[in-house]
Amino acid sequence: MAELSYREAVAAGIAQEMARDETVYFIGEDIGAAGGVFKATVGLFERFGPERVRDTPISEQAIIGAAMGAAMTGLRPIAEIMFSDFLATCWDMVANQVAKTRYMTDGQVSLPLVIRTANGGGTRFGAQHSQSLENWGMAVPGLKVVAPSSPADAKGLLAAAIRDPDPVLFFEQKSLYGIKGEVPDGEHLDRLGTARVLRNGKHCTIVALAAMVPKAMQAAEQLAAMGIDATVVDVRSLVPLDTRTILGEIVKTGRLFTVEENPRLCGWGAEIASIAADECFDDLDGPIVRITTPHVPLPAADVLEDAAMPSVDRIVETVRKSMR
């Protein structure tokens, strides 16, 4: 095992797949000699050269258009959209072209395309550079949606996304780039569509994603000191969604809490709550509770941004009051 930061694990995952498969290439703004605006692609340009690590003009439409065409003709492109907010400028191509091509050609054309993007708040970038947009992708048939919470998952799930025959939106939470963790040596390949139980408890189940996962784990430790034993599930993949694991843990504890960074309205937790109500209503011992960011643009001021996003204290207090 090697200890890598989240950003180093992202670069390692890309390098692993580029070394393994010469059809993989990487395209985006400032990803080459600059090593990426978040330094998540350092060393790739020097190792693989300008033919396979290509800097682009500031045009998200150009990036997605070029990557889509390359995927249709046999390559496996990785396209970086610098901030997830900028998906809005190329969303027609992503939602109406990339997501639909395999279906509309009856499987004659596949799109093995990964769209990587820095997502979410906590870094004081303001309303236009801090949105958590996993639910955008989740709403579009034909797209797979992945959001890792740890360095090991960043590398393994990214490798799985690159090898997948369908388009994958790969959300990297900005505030996680600096965290460190153990990553398996050598080739590391995970599996899309799998949630992971990080902590086993008997009183309630907390389901979280990306940057909310470490907060949920910290909250669970504090709750344990209060006599509330919480299971924590890292969703990891929204599409495909591992309902078997998630529902199985809900049935064991009888209580469900979701911790979501995205705005409350139409968040991914609402879908999980709906599935839980349909599939295991008789096993629930209390109401499903969603802990979310309110439906507002995310502020840039540190105090206001911290107040808007779910915090460890808010998770603890919400679970404590609900369980009481």
> What are the tokens at 61?
């439409």
Q: Choose, from 129, 188, 203, 295, the residue flagged as catalytic.
A: 129
The answer to whether residue 129 is catalytic is: yes
Active site residues: 129
